[in-house]
Amino acid sequence: MGQFAERVYTDPAMIQRLEDLIEQLPTGGHVVLQLADGTCCEGVVCESPSVQVFRDPQENEGINGVLRLERPDEPAWTRYVWLGDIQSVEQLDSITGSEA
């Protein structure tokens, strides 16, 4: 598993923001993500991500996380998204069974 990320975060407010994003990304959730580069990405969360320690290209240590999305109707489609690249999350459906 790679331990390198384009960007890592050490600011407590940003780390809290990443952790707040995780709460919006439950396993099985169908979401649309607005990314920092202005693009959108839609898919189903394979497994709720977690923050981890990574190093950036300058070897600085910090926090980020990786989200894996899939599309059940396109079995070959998978996308990995850095948590730090997510600007917003839109829920397209509610998760049944996990809220009871």
Q: What is the CA radius of gyration of the chain?
A: 14
Question: Quick one: pLDDT at residue 98?
Answer: 43
68 part of a folded domain: yes
Alpha helices in the chain (DSSP H): 12-23
Q: CB neighbours (10 Å) of residue 81?
A: 18
* Count of structural domains, the chain: 1
**DSSP secondary structure code for residue 85 in this structure:** G
Q: CB neighbours (10 Å) of residue 7?
A: 15
Question: Quick one: pLDDT at residue 94?
Answer: 59
Residue-number span of the structural domain to which 62 is assigned:
12-91
| 31: CB partners within 8 A, 6+ apart | 24, 25, 42, 43, 44, 45, 69, 89, 90, 91, 92
What is the pTM (predicted TM-score) of this model?
A: 0.86
**pLDDT of the chain along its 100 residues, tens only?**
469 999 999 999 999 999 999 999 999 999 999 999 999 999 999 999 999 999 999 999 999 999 999 999 999 999 999 999 999 999 998 554 444 3
Residue 55: give its domain's CATH number.
Answer: 2.30.30.720
